[in-house]
Homo-oligomer: A and B are copies of this chain.
Amino acid sequence: MAEADEGVAGHAEAARGRPASTSRQDVARVALDLFARLGYDDTTVDDIAAAVGISRRTFFRYFESKPDVVWGEFDAELGRLRDRLAEAPVSEPMMDVLRRSVIATNRFGAGELDELRIRMVLISSVPTLVAHSAVRYEEWCEVVAGFAAVRLGGRPEDLGPQTLARAALGAAMAAFGCWAADEGVDLEDEVDQAFRLLATGFADPSGAI
C-alpha cells in the first residue's frame, strides 16, 4: 500500500526514458465508454486497446485485469478511509466514526457522479464484475475490521470485528446499489440511512416484527 501505482503513469519529475503514450485515466475513460455502449462482456480487451491506440499487451501494463478498469482509483479511496478512521477522536462513538468516514470518503462532485453511477451499475449488474468486486471488498473489510478491533478490543480476525466489518460492507453495498438503481436519490442520504440501521440493529425492541 506504499508506492501504489508507480511503474505506469507514475508522475515522476525527471522524465528520463520513453514517455508514456497514454495514461490510466485515459484508458479508463475510453474503456468505460465502450462498456456503456457495447456492454462489458461484449467489449474485449482488444477493443479497448485498439480504441486507445495501444497494444493489448500494453493494456495489461496499465491495468492488472479487465475488471480493474471499472474500479478506477479504489486503492486511493481505501487509503483515505483508513486515514479517516485512524484519525477520529476516541471520544466519538465507533458507529458514528464509521458512518461519517464512509460518507466523507464517498463524497463526489456533481461531475463525477455520472461516471460513478455507470461504474456502480456495472459493478452490481455484470456477473463478472460482481465476482471481481468481492476481491476488492475484501480489502475494504480489512480496513474496517482493523478499526473495529481497536474500538471493540481483540484482533481484527475475531468474530466481533469481522461481523461488524462485513455487515458494514453490506450496508454500504445496499446504499450504493439503491442509489445506482434510482436516479432520484441522494447517495449521502442512502449511506447515512443504511449505517444508522446497522448501528441501531434490526431487532424490534417490542418484538413485534
Contact = CB atoms under 8 A, between A and B. Distances in A.
A163 B175 contact: yes
A110 interface: no
A204 interface: yes
A205 B193 CA distance: 18
A198 B160 CA distance: 10
A14 interface: no
A94 B94 CA distance: 26
Contact of A202 (B164, B177, B207): B164
A125 to B, nearest CB: 10
Residue with the greatest number of chain B CB neighbours at <10 A, chosen from A165, A169, A209: A209
Contact of A95 (B130, B199, B203): B203
Interface string A156-197: 011110111111111101110110010000000010011001
A8 B173 CA distance: 36
This chain's copy number in the assembly = 2
Given A201-B200, A209-B94, A209-B152, A163 B170 contact: yes
A93 interface: yes
Contacts of A197: 160, 163-164, 167
Contacts of A170: 163, 165-170
Interface of A: 93-95, 127, 130-135, 138, 151-152, 157-160, 162-171, 173-175, 177-178, 181, 190, 193-194, 197-204, 207-209
Given A131-B134, A158-B178, A163-B198, 14 more contacts: A127-B135, A131-B135, A133-B134, A152-B209, A159-B174, A159-B178, A163-B193, A165-B170, A166-B170, A167-B198, A198-B201, A198-B202, A200-B203, A201-B201
12 contacts: A95-B202, A130-B135, A133-B134, A157-B178, A162-B174, A163-B193, A163-B197, A166-B169, A166-B171, A167-B198, A198-B201, A200-B201
